[in-house]
Amino acid sequence: MSKAPDTDGMKPEDAREAAAADSLEAELVEALAKVDEHWNSYLRAVAENDNLRKRAQRDVEAAHRFAIERFAAELLDVRDSLELGVASGPAAEPARLVEGMEATLRLLNKAFEKSGVSVVDPVGQPFNPEFHEAMATQPSVDAAPGTVLAVVQKGYVLNGRLLRPARVLVARDPDPAAS
């Protein structure tokens, strides 16, 4: 910043120009201070945004890694039950083995229910290609054409999203030649 000029012995218009120059210089210094302030604010905002993005990315990665943790914990009881059944298998009575398998299936169904997995078992329902896969058609006088007669393999849905379609046999009109 320059020192104010000595206005003694100056022409009035030179004195006005010197005062205007001093005023402009003061405004420039003030503007440069604001520029520095805004630049520092911008850098802090960019850094904060970058930290937020990195934190969100870490959270998403952790969610992907541990998404099935609860379901896996539920399956531990199922595994324990299966191991007990296998260990007692050679010496166990068949009725006790069946009882153990039913208990294991109940544990598995409980784990599925807690995790939002539901069974697609559409016997007697109309065929729906969004949830069913037709393995074959079969003539039927008892069921309407397009109705599921039997389930070859159950399907599964996770919170409304299809995991595996049910594989089914679908009813069709009886063959007229067979009458």
Domain borders along the chain are 117-179
What is the per-residue pLDDT across 127-166, written as a single tens digit (0 to 9) for each?
A: 999 999 999 999 999 999 999 999 999 999 999 999 999 9
What is the per-residue pLDDT across 49-97, written as a single tens digit (0 to 9) for each?
A: 999 999 999 999 888 888 788 888 889 999 999 998 888 878 888 888 8
**β-bridge partners, 117:** 158
Overall pTM > 0.85: no
Query: In the CATH scheme, what is the code of domain 117-179?
Result: 2.30.22.10
> Is pLDDT above 90 for 19?
no
Strands 166-172 and 132-139, sheet pairing: parallel
Q: Distance between CA atoms of 170 and 132, rounded to whole angstroms?
A: 10
Q: Distance between CA atoms of 96 and 53, rounded to whole angstroms?
A: 56
> Is pLDDT above 80 for 25?
yes
Torsion of CA 101, 105, 106, 107, to 10 degrees: 100
